[in-house]
Structure 1
Amino acid sequence: MKRLAGFSLLYMVLLICFIGGTVFASTELVENEEFKIIPDYMNPFLSIEEKVDKLLSVMTLEEKIGQMTQAERRYITPDEVYQYKIGSILSGGGSTPFSNTPEAWANMYDRFQKWAMKTRLKIPIIYGVDAVHGHNNLRGATIFPHNIGLGATRDPELVEKVGRITAKEVSATGPDWNFGPCVAVARDERWGRTYESFGEHPELQKLLAGAYVRGLQGPEAEMDGEYVVACAKHYVGDGGTEWGSGDGGYLIDRGDVTVDEKTLREIHLPGYIEAIEEGVGTIMVSFNSYQGVKMHAHKYLITDVLKGELGFDGFVVSDWNGINEISGYSYYEKVVKSVNAGIDMFMVPDSWKKFIYNLKQAVENGDVSEERINDAVRRILTVKFKAGLFEKPFTDRSHISLIGSEEHREVAREAVRKSLVLLKNENVLPLDKDSKIYVGGSNAEDIGSQCGGWTITWQGRSGDITEGTTVLEGIEAAIAGRGQVVNDLNQADVAVIVVGEDPYAEGRGDNGRLELKQEDISLLEKVTGAGKPVVVVMISGRPLIISDYIDDWDAFVMAWLPGTEGQGIADVLFGDYNFTGRLPVSWPEDVSQLPINYGDDDYDPLFEYGTGLKMDLE
């Protein structure tokens, strides 16, 4: 009787599906005008685990290896996605469609996806971008402060909103996977990626990493619709490399982490634990080594600790051609080491054909087991199902109009206000809106320098690179109809000098001097020599050495890399809001102190970690 009842129920389900226009069968997708026959791994009555099991059971080795392969858009054509059954495409920093508009992005994404959906099993691609402070490859997108500024806010609710808006602007143009957040703990400001870190202490990663993941993926790790798949990076220890140990001609980037395992766990692991607890879909392996072993080959830390001990059930992705840096006599050997270490998807931008060939040979030779391949593909397919890519593989363009909208920019402006850190104030702040103000300095009127690296191009670029408000424009708007920005220093009541760095990103940003630019030093000498009160605003991805100059300044504000909304700086300078930011890193008095971090035995910085003054607004 029970068997008959079960048979009747199954019959009813199949009948309903048939009448509704769909029949499930373990075959390829066949369509005609009357009804569809689709694979049973698309049956909505199945759990994701059951769908993955069914799909995996019908995949060939070539199809599985294709899922483990990620190519860069410039080095692959849409029809090659079909031919090689590719699982993922990415846009590297600055890799955009020619016109770099939201519509061009969506069209590009859909072209790749269209060819993926022509494959035998119709497995959609997942498309990744480095949207590390907004959809920063896209001109006109809302660009938020880099992570170092968000670390200064110590505001997880704000960080979640930043992630939420970033996800909405990214997904509106097609990509469904963001290579962020970076949860590195920057322990040496000479590192060119310091600004990608929330700060030097793991308490900041514990506070903010989960919130950022939640913003990107959704409060229940939905990952679909307006949300995207997040990627905690770079696992593990990338902010703790030793000066002079870097690879590829760099001084600290991609270098070696030599601390003991207890210290590694205490400092560099907490951010990943928070991300995993929020259901982060992916984790990216770091370029650095740990105790002489490249992370891309570190089976203990990837498989035993990350996947085993910490229970990470998403998939692990390599960094850009990261397997090339593993020691080995041949590319084949490097592939074998990295796959067996536990990496699931391989970012092999321009060498993806070589990777596919070598991995297939490794499986056929028995150097990589089919069990390891199945584990990797299972993880990848699970994330794709969670992200809703099988059901809705093409771009939902309904939110394109929100990209760079006033609503989104207002949140970015709030983030700027809350990231500012007041480090000195000799009764000059807040500024009077009726004042005559001289505004100068290398970064006073430069949207590109405000945004820093990873903006429109990989290394970033000074100048008018995207839409936004500079510091000068923000000041002009704040005092419109009352005060005046003057070009003659002698006419000014006060001078605001905006100093800092030119844009840079990984590798090229390694800097052992951390000096102010000579043009800024010369202008500051001119202003202080004229006897004018001077407010110095620094736009920089890290502290610069100012010990020889700060005594001559009446006020000093650290603005980090604020992004496109320079109006947020003016909001606070004129007292519409008070300063709330606190230093996420220790400010060295001299480079000879580096690395310097809170808790050191000989801790004696110019400004301590956590410093942040307020203005008297009474």
Structure 2
Amino acid sequence: MTSIVEGLQGKPPPGHPNGYPFVAGRENVVACAKHFVGDGGTKKGTNEGDTILSYDELERVHMAPYLDCISQGVCTIMASYSSWNGTKLHTSHFLLTQILKEKLGFKGFIISDSEGLDRLSSPHGSNYRQSVLCAINAGIDMVMVPLRYQIFLEDLTHLVKSEKISMARIDDAVERILRVKFAAGLFEFPLSNRSLLDTVSCDLHKKLAREAVRKSLVLLKNGKNPDKPFLPLDKNAERILVAGIHADDLGYQCGGWTATWEGKSGRITTGTTVLEAIKEVVGQRTEVIYEQNPSPNTIAGQDYSFAIVVVGEGPYVETGGDSSELTIHFNGAGLIGAVAEEVPTLVILISGRPLALEQRHFDNIDALVAAWLPGSEGGGIADVIFGDHEFQGQLPVTWFKSVDQLPMHSEDDSYDPLFPVGFGLTSKNKIVQSR
């Protein structure tokens, strides 16, 4: 995942000093690695929670990606809302200064998360001057203050004048911020290059996004009998049933942080839904019948060649996504059961993470594809399920049998997943080989 730094900033030349920020040119942008550190290891996965680990484990598991980012010249790193063994990351001088800046040699700047300082006190935003003091002295160089900037400036100025925050700390922050601005060429070219606007959402970008979709799909099941693969599907089938609210909803394909903070349903942008992609690829004589929640009469006795059920999660962000059950939304499990009972069925799961799969439904379906959040290019899904391209994706995480197993670690003796990390099939039911 850290390869995105190179995609945004460009590749540093040989001999570029480790830890120093790098931006290749005006067509590149400053990258931010986040959220430092342990954000993905909080107890029960709770957003803004507490990662309870020894330092050795924190370093081994959670710091490894940051080492790679730093070696690629990442310009900025964002502190996490979460805590490490009870200490808020925004106030951890040990992790932000002693480890990130001094031990790891990071020379860019550390930025707070949005209203990160407000979250250091309870109730939210109280005792603000003390929060500013703790965060700046811990090593935060730039503070994201969307609303209370006047209060922040007043409190920071007071703390410096009263010598509770040293000028050396201010100089360090200013030096790091200027270093990134010089690397990005902001003094030579302070404004954006408007000639690049025409490249936004251009055909080349859409083509690349579609390629990313088809390469990221993970085939988890392909046929009730492994010797008789269900996929690829026949483009010239006589009649196809497509079901599920996610089959024709760009907003659900995109998830949160799209158009709005939380995301929403509907045609929030230009793009192709899964249903539209299916209709584009099938033969002219193929009849595609779509219902979000098909009735028993629609399902039974219609002589379908097969069904494609597209289910998953509604959009969510941050605490709104916390779940102890991880169920498929909108009665997705019930829909799977109803359709698969009557029609040979491919299930496409649209989600930001593994979801609970009922064993009886899993046994009854013919194929299962984890499509994650494919964004605007639903055509990438049709490319693979109809056989124009082969499945290449592998699970980046473990897929549990039951939420009671969580958290799961592949090195544990009791490791017993539904699908292990790294799992993925081809349409020939061969295991996808890592490249």
Structure-1 separation of matches of 2:104 and 2:50: 23
Higher deviation after alignment, 560-569 or 215-224: 215-224
Q: Spell out the pairing of 1:268-287 with structure 2 (5 A cutoff).
A: 268-287=62-81
1:125-524 to 2 correspondences below 5 Å: 208-209=1-2, 211-220=3-12, 221-222=22-23, 224-243=25-44, 252-327=46-121, 330-426=127-223, 427-435=229-237, 436-487=239-290, 488-489=298-299, 490-524=302-336
Q: What's the offset of the Cα at 1:525?
A: 2.8
| 5+ long unaligned stretches in structure 1 | 1-207, 244-250
Counterpart Cα distance in 1 of 2:133 and 2:418: 48
Residue equivalent to 2:15: none
Quick one: distance in 2 between partners of 1:363 and 1:346?
Answer: 16
Structure-2 separation of matches of 1:603 and 1:443: 32
Q: Is the 8 A contact 2:109 2:141 kept in 1?
A: yes
Partners of 1:544 and 1:617 in 2: CA distance: 22
Deviation at 1:463, TM superposition (A): 1.1
Contact 1:583 1:609 in 2 (8 A): yes
Partner AA of 2:23 in structure 1: E
Rounded Cα–Cα distance in structure 1 between residues aligned with 2:146 and 2:377: 33
**Structure 1 segments of 4+ aligned residues over 3 angstroms from their partners:** none
SS at 2:374 equivalent: coil
Shift of 1:482: 4.9
Counterparts of 2:419 and 2:369 in 1: how far apart (Å)? 12
Q: With the length of structure 2 as denominator, give the TM-score of the two structures.
A: 0.90
**TM-score normalised by the chain length of structure 1:** 0.63
> 1:397 Cα deviation (Å)?
1.1
Tell me the CA shift for residue 453 of structure 1: 0.7
Native 8 Å contact 1:216 1:223 kept in 2: no
Give secondary structure in 1 for the equivalent of 2:132: helix
Is the 8 Å Cα contact of residues 241 and 288 (structure 2) preserved in structure 1? yes
Structure 1 residue matching 2:208: 3-state secondary structure: helix
Q: Return the alpha-carbon distance in structure 1 between the equivalents of residues 285 and 411 of structure 2.
A: 48
Please give the secondary structure, in 1, of the residue aligned with 2:324.
Answer: coil
Q: What is the Cα deviation at residue 524 of structure 1? A: 2.2
CA distance in 1, matches of 2:283, 2:266: 24
Residue 133 of structure 1 corresponds to: none
| Alignment RMSD | 1.6
Shift of 1:416: 0.4
Question: What is the identity, as a one-letter code, of the residue corresponding to 2:267?
Answer: D
Query: Does the 8 Å contact 1:534/1:553 carry over to 2?
Result: yes
Q: Tell me the SS of whatever aligns to 1:372.
A: helix
The corresponding residue for 1:160 is none
2: CA distance, partners of 1:556 / 1:330:
51
* Deviation string, structure 1 residues 98-144 (Cα, Å, up to 9, x no partner): xxxxxxxxxxxxxxxxxxxxxxxxxxxxxxxxxxxxxxxxxxxxxxx
User: Which secondary structure state, in structure 2, belongs to the residue aligned with residue 457 of structure 1?
Assistant: coil
Shift of 1:485: 1.1
| Matched position secondary structure for 1:454 | coil
CA distance in 1, matches of 2:374, 2:278: 15
1:542 aligns to what? Answer: 353
Larger Rg: 1
Alpha-carbon distance in 1 for matches of 2:243, 2:218: 20
CA distance in 1, matches of 2:332, 2:186: 50
Deviation at 1:393, TM superposition (A): 1.1
Letter of the aligned partner of 2:68 in structure 1? E
| Residue 533, structure 1, aligned to residue 330, structure 2 | no
User: How much has 1:520 moved relative to structure 2?
Assistant: 2.3
Secondary structure class of the residue paired with 1:598: coil
Determine if the alignment matches structure 1 residue 580 to structure 2 residue 374.
no
Say if 2:236 and 2:283, in contact at 8 Å, map to a contact too.
Answer: no
1 CA distance for matches of 2:221 and 2:34?
Answer: 34
Residues 578-616 of structure 1 deviation map (CA, whole Å, 9 limit, x = unaligned): 111011111111111111122123100111111101112
Q: 3-state SS of the aligned residue for 1:576?
A: coil
Within 1, Cα distance between the matches of 2:305 and 2:83? 53
Q: In structure 1, how many angstroms separate the alpha carbons of the residues matched to 2:347 and 2:65?
A: 33
* CA apart distance, 1:440: 0.9
Name the SS for the 2:375 alignment partner. Answer: coil
- Residue 561 of structure 1 is matched in structure 2 by 373
Cα deviation, 1:34-65, whole Å, max 9, x if unaligned, reads xxxxxxxxxxxxxxxxxxxxxxxxxxxxxxxx
Contact kept, 8 Å, 2:114 with 2:146, in 1: the verdict is yes
Q: Take 1:442 and 1:568, find their aligned partners in 2: how far apart are those partners? A: 19
- Kindly provide the CA deviation profile for residues 282-303 of structure 1, in whole angstroms up to 9, marking residues without a partner as x: 0000001111110000001000
Where structure 2 has 5 or more consecutive residues not aligned to the other structure, the ranges are 13-21, 224-228, 291-297, 431-435
Q: Please give the secondary structure, in 1, of the residue aligned with 2:318.
A: coil
Cα offset, 1:519, TM superposition: 3.3
Contact 1:429–1:555 (Cα < 8 Å) also in 2:
yes
Q: Using the aligned pairs only, state the percent identity.
A: 47
Match of 2:368, SS state, is strand
User: Distance between the aligned counterparts of 1:321 and 1:608, measured in 2?
Assistant: 37
Q: What is the match of residue 136 of structure 1?
A: none
Q: SS where residue 117 of structure 2 aligns?
A: helix
Counterpart Cα distance in 1 of 2:61 and 2:288: 46
C-alpha distance in 2, partners of 1:613/1:523? 25
